[in-house]
Every structure is written in C-alpha cells, then in structure tokens.
Structure 1
C-alpha cells in the first residue's frame, strides 16, 4: 500500500481485515486529497461505486424471501417499458439491426446475463448508451426516468445467452422501489444500512462528511470512465472529482449499481453480514439458505465460458458469478491465491472486498482511483493476505 502511494499509483488507501468476526489488521496510508494534503483516514468517505451492487442484490433477496416475487419473473411484470423486447442481431453494426427476443428475468438481471450493457463496454449498445449518458450518475434525474430510457434501447443479445457487465442492477434497484413502495434510498436506510449500523453510508455525502470525502483521481488523459477511448496522461493522479463540485454531495439518482458512498468500517459490517450467513450480531437480514444460494455460482460454468465482451477488472477464467458478486470456482484458473467459494466484487474507483468462508475472513480495501483496471492491485493484495496467513 505504501509503495503504491510512493510511486504515485494511488493517492491513498486503507485496508481492513477480520477473521472470525474480530479485526486482525488495519492500515491506512497516503492522502485523501492531494491539493490540501489531507490524509487518508479510517473515517474517510469514499465512492464505493459497484460495491453497491451486492447491497441491491441483498435488497432483492429480502423481498423475494417475503414471497413478493420469484426470480424467474420477467422484469416487465414490474416495469412495463421492458415489454416487447428486441435484441441486436449477431454481428449488428447499427442500433436498428434487431430481432424480437424474450424479456429478461430478475435472475438474468442479477447475474448480468440479461443482455444489457454499460457505456464503457465495447459494442453497438454500449455506444448508444454512451451517446445518451446512460450510466446512472448521481445527477441524472429520478431512477424511473433513466430506467425507462434504458428499456427503450434494444438488448445487446438475447437474455441468457451471454454474460456482460451492465446496468442491470440499477434496473433491479427500480424493482425494489416498485415492490416496496419506498425509494431505494429509503429502503436501504430502513432495511439494510440502518439495521446493520452503517450510518455513514448513503447515496449522498452529508454536510458532516464533506471534510472527510476523498477526491477521485485518474491516470487517464480524458474521462476516467471512458474506457473505449482511454489513453494514459502525463499525470498519474489527476483529480476528476472533488467535494467542492462533486455530484455525490446531493445525489438525485439512486443508483443500485454504483451510487453509494461510505466508510471502510461501514462496508466491513456489510461484508461481515455476508460472512455471517445473513446476520451481523443479533441483526438478521437473510436466512442462511438464501445467503448460501446468493454466494453460489449461478452460471453454467465460469464467466469466460459465457463469451463476455465487457470491461473486466479481474480474470473471468475460473470465476463464476452469484447474485451480486463473483465466486471463485478454481483459484488456479483465476491465477490468484484464494479459496474455492470466495465471494467478491469491486468498484470503479479501485475499491474491493471479498469474503472467504474457508478462512473465516472478510477483507475490505478502499482507495479512489478510476478506472479500477489501472493496476493489478486486487490480485497483489490477495496474494499478500494469503502469504501472511
């Protein structure tokens, strides 16, 4: 961690490790804001981006446990805009080259096999999404409106035929709103964040957190998320989002796929709930059976066998996908030390977490550098942790 700061790869970072429910290691280093020389502290507030996805997936499963829907239900049952879907034909070169296809199910949305995409992926659909800025940023309006814009576009492929990292969990965030009758922010607060004691985590940076909100940096010359046109800049730590003008200070769009900000201790509570088979102390969000179901591989094989054509920040060989995160099937094929069954995911700002039931361990790593594919920090971190045990 210190060497990454010294070589100007990361401005600062923090790591928290727990085994058997007890903290065994914490380290912080570097700066949360280079300009002011403010240090990266334990209570630094960071953008967790896609580490929001497991939280939304837990929300969906909490509603499923209440018998409010089943996972094979088509999403059009909840969002009519997804009726009468079209998918791009094989080899399509324009967005109008489509054919009729089935409507994605909730399960396909949860496993990124629904046919949706992200603007930073390659492909025709991603280009169309990029033109409309369909990335569910904090200031893109109410969730319902952005979801309907996504539904108006064709799918990249027929649901269930491939794996592609996508905004599908954002669509599920809207399902949570419709089924629960609450905004996603309210549901998270009342049903997940509040009960777990994650009081520093939300979609917006509070006034009290302003002084602790980390700046976001990139080594790229252009947009930190425009991966299709990415080119290295002369400055490895160029600031692209600061609290004085950050959209996260007052979020309007509740992105279940990437909208939460919070502290490392807060996210460790969520990771420990996963390690605890759905419970943290006396608080239970999901049954052990449901949690085991979520953390199992839901693909026919590994992600690589599903023909992915999307952005990847970790190997897809030897890695399956559960509900809300990746599952290690074969550490050798994944080319990284670990245990079979490790459940993990990361965020675009290079944050990362994993839960290892074999070693009774939870790990949470925070930093603020986009894109997360800039350096092999996650594989190096896992190797160091396993070497230390």
Structure 2
C-alpha cells in the first residue's frame, strides 16, 4: 500500500528543471541560512511520485542527516485524519452533522457565550442556537485555543492547559474542563481555530465504543499500511524521530555554514521527547507523528475519492461534502475569522469539514485551483491536494511556529510553476 509509483516529471506534465529549482530554493534560503534543519518534499501527480527530495539534517546537535524515512511531529495535520475518521461514523448512520453536540456530551447542554468577567466568575448569555457536530468539524463551535491570547476565555484555556503542545489530563478531563468555560461566540457566528477537532476525537471514542487511538489504527492506519503513523514513536523507531526546533526571535538570520544552529533553538530533543511514550491525552487535533510516505498514502486515498488499493475509507460523495466550503453564505475566512493564528492564509480560502478549501484562487494571489484542499502543522509541515490537477504536495520540516517564514506560499507558487500541461 505504501508503494508509490515513481515516474519522470515530464511524463506527468511537470518540469524536472522547475522542480529542482524548489530544492535549490529550500537549501539556499532555508537550510544553508539556518532557518530550517532539513526538508523533505514530495510531489505526486497523475498517479506518479514525480519528485522526492530530502535535504539537510534531522538532528543538528548530533549531526544526523535527514533520511527519507524520518518521523515527524505532524501536529495539526492530525486534524484531517481525525475528521475523515469521524465521517466514517457519519456514513454508518451513527451520528449526523446537524446533531446537537450535547446529545453526546450532556454536560455541555447549558454552555453559555462569554459576555464579561474572568474565570471562575464569567458572565454569559445563552447561545442563539445549540452547538452542532458540523460546528466542530468546521471550527465554528465557539471553542478556542489558549494560544490565541485574545480574550479571558483564551486565558481560562491556558489556566487549564487545554490545547497546548504538551496537554495534560485526558480527553475526558478536557471535556469536563470545557463544561466550565463559556464559548467565545454563539455557534455558527464566526470561525475560530480551536480544540474542536480534539472534541471530535473524543466523540469518535464515545460513539464507536472503541478508544480513539485504536479506532484510527484499526480503521485507517493498518488497512492503508501506514505503519509509521501513531500517537507515539515506539522504541524500535526512536532513532528515526527528527529533532524539533523553534525559530529564533527576529525571524530571518544571517547565512551560516551547514550544520550550525544559529537561528534555531532546540524545542524537542528526539532522545527525550514526550512523543517516545504513549500520551495520556490522545489529541485528534495535533497528536500524531508520521512520515512523508505515510501521509502521502493517506492523501492518495483522498485524491482517489476515498479509496486506495482496495481499501475504502469514505465514499466519494462524502469526501466531496468534506471538501466543500461550509462557512455560512460561502464566505471566506477573512469574513468570518476571529483567530489570531491558523494554519492557513485567508483571502479566497473557505473551510470544509477538516480542511481549508480554496474557493477563489485570484483572491489568494497564489496559483492554484478552486476546490483544492489543504492544512498544515505548527512545526511547518504542510500538504495540499488539488483534484483538478491530480496533484498532491507534502512538505516536512520541524520548526515552530509555522508562521515564521512564508515557505508554504513559496512552495505553492513553485510547484504550480512546474506544471507544464495544466488540466482545463
């Protein structure tokens, strides 16, 4: 299942010269300049892996070169997998998108909307309507992330360590804590990047009767032979876990010799990483580790209408629903977003059920196609799928935050520039 046919770029309507230019760009602008330790890029088009490059280091301190089987913390690239897993339950008739969330989480039935005050003495008003399942999948639930740092509600999340990179407690304790914190806004009235997908992970376990992590393994990872994807890295694979770094304050740094660490601060040492042991909090919003190869397998199943190698995750009509813009009135993110941070640029971008969706390429000011869908992780990993061009791109590195550099915009521009015979 993880075997990807390789072919020449030209045979799939792409330019090998233009693709090589991307590698040169990544090496010169990011690796040699001390901004990224190393990079891995996969470009897949029309049934073939037409480009695969691995450059730089997995671990700068130990001078370990990056290899093609490196394991990365994919953080919020967990969200599309969790969302697909949930839609498998929808297809089975076990839950509906317009179901009220309190049907499955009764303690949330009387959640109010923030008016004033601070924890524990919040003043609230009733929401204009109950939170629905669809609100969780499209981030219109009224939930938030503490790192948004906009409101007293965000502060309450930080106090409870809800939605951090290293969360405490369990999914059940998160649900209990959220029952005591008001919503940022009435469900459906705005878009706010949030712990909503962690709640989806909790609901998968609650509705299926199978622990969330086991559900993903049995229903997605094992059938697709995604053997290197999971919520922790087992001992026998620990040597493949890349180090994770923080971009130093000030952003751009002077050029340096390869291997030096100026511009980067070690954030998670692979020798002592919490990802080496099973987590107490199984995060459907950001807990997975994976490889570029495994994630390409997942993306290939989506590009193929929800099926790969005889293994069907979801039906093509369900996938079409997931990759439609679900923001009310077909609005884009700038019209609805209250987020200080998200793994997407905004103009011309809507949001589906687990993915950002391009609705107007001209407004994005980046080459692309209507209906292309994507997401990324806080350590600067990213992917996108373009059904019109039969294209997938997977990018891996390990630098927090993903907003430090405009690499995603550059990659989209350069990958699309490599297409020589675009589909109409």
Q: Name the TM-score, length of structure 1 as normaliser.
A: 0.94
Alpha-carbon distance, 1:271 to partner: 0.7
Is 1:88 aligned to residue 114 of structure 2? yes
Q: How many positions carry a matched residue from both structures? A: 378
Is 1:8 aligned to residue 34 of structure 2? yes
Stretch of structure 1 that moved more, 53-62 or 140-149: 140-149
Alpha-carbon distance, 1:97 to partner: 2.8
Match of residue 180 from structure 1? 208
Give the secondary-structure state (helix, strand or coil) at the position aligned to 1:320: strand
Match of residue 309 from structure 2? 281
Matches within 5 A, 1:310-349: 310-349=340-379
Stretch of structure 1 that moved more, 311-320 or 173-182: 311-320
Match of residue 100 from structure 1? 126
Match of residue 227 from structure 1? none
Give the secondary-structure state (helix, strand or coil) at the position aligned to 1:135: coil
Contact 2:344 2:356 in 1 (8 A): no
Match of residue 34 from structure 1? 60
Residues of 1 paired with 2:240 and 2:337: CA distance? 41
Alpha-carbon distance, 1:143 to partner: 1.4
Residues of 2 paired with 1:233 and 1:357: CA distance? 35
Match of residue 110 from structure 1? 137
* Structure 1 residues 88 and 123: alpha-carbon distance in aligned structure 2, compared to 1, 3 A threshold: same
Alpha-carbon distance, 1:307 to partner: 3.8
Contact 2:100 2:131 in 1 (8 A): yes
Alpha-carbon distance, 1:252 to partner: 1.9
Match of residue 214 from structure 1? 242
Alpha-carbon distance, 1:308 to partner: 2.4
Alpha-carbon distance, 1:108 to partner: 0.4
Alpha-carbon distance, 1:24 to partner: 0.4
Match of residue 224 from structure 1? none
Match of residue 306 from structure 1? 336
Match of residue 99 from structure 2? 73
Residues of 2 paired with 1:139 and 1:189: CA distance? 21
Residues of 1 paired with 2:347 and 2:179: CA distance? 31
Give the secondary-structure state (helix, strand or coil) at the position aligned to 2:125: strand
Give the secondary-structure state (helix, strand or coil) at the position aligned to 1:129: helix
Alpha-carbon distance, 1:78 to partner: 1.0
Match of residue 320 from structure 2? 292
Residues of 2 paired with 1:305 and 1:136: CA distance? 27
Q: Name the TM-score, length of structure 2 as normaliser.
A: 0.86
* Structure 1 residues 313 and 170: alpha-carbon distance in aligned structure 2, compared to 1, 3 A threshold: closer
Residues of 1 paired with 2:343 and 2:369: CA distance? 19
* Structure 1 residues 232 and 357: alpha-carbon distance in aligned structure 2, compared to 1, 3 A threshold: closer
Is 1:53 aligned to residue 53 of structure 2? no
Determine which structure has more spread, i.e. the larger CA radius of gyration. 2
Contact 1:5 1:30 in 2 (8 A): yes
Residues of 2 paired with 1:254 and 1:329: CA distance? 32
* Structure 1 residues 232 and 340: alpha-carbon distance in aligned structure 2, compared to 1, 3 A threshold: closer
Residues of 1 paired with 2:69 and 2:339: CA distance? 37
Alpha-carbon distance, 1:279 to partner: 0.6
Contact 2:146 2:164 in 1 (8 A): no
Alpha-carbon distance, 1:319 to partner: 0.2
Match of residue 371 from structure 1? 401
* Structure 1 residues 157 and 66: alpha-carbon distance in aligned structure 2, compared to 1, 3 A threshold: same
Alpha-carbon distance, 1:127 to partner: 1.6
Contact 2:161 2:167 in 1 (8 A): no
List 4+ stretches of structure 1 deviating above 3 A. Answer: 92-95, 136-139, 231-235
Match of residue 410 from structure 2? 380
* Structure 1 residues 139 and 297: alpha-carbon distance in aligned structure 2, compared to 1, 3 A threshold: closer
Alpha-carbon distance, 1:280 to partner: 1.0
Aligned with residue 240 of structure 1, among 256, 262, 267: 267
Alpha-carbon distance, 1:83 to partner: 1.4
Alpha-carbon distance, 1:111 to partner: 0.4
Contact 1:136 1:253 in 2 (8 A): no
Match of residue 228 from structure 1? none
Residues of 2 paired with 1:313 and 1:341: CA distance? 17
Structure 2: gaps of 5 or more residues: 1-25, 254-261, 420-424
Contact 2:135 2:188 in 1 (8 A): yes
Residues of 2 paired with 1:116 and 1:139: CA distance? 16
Is 1:269 aligned to residue 294 of structure 2? no
Give the secondary-structure state (helix, strand or coil) at the position aligned to 2:266: strand
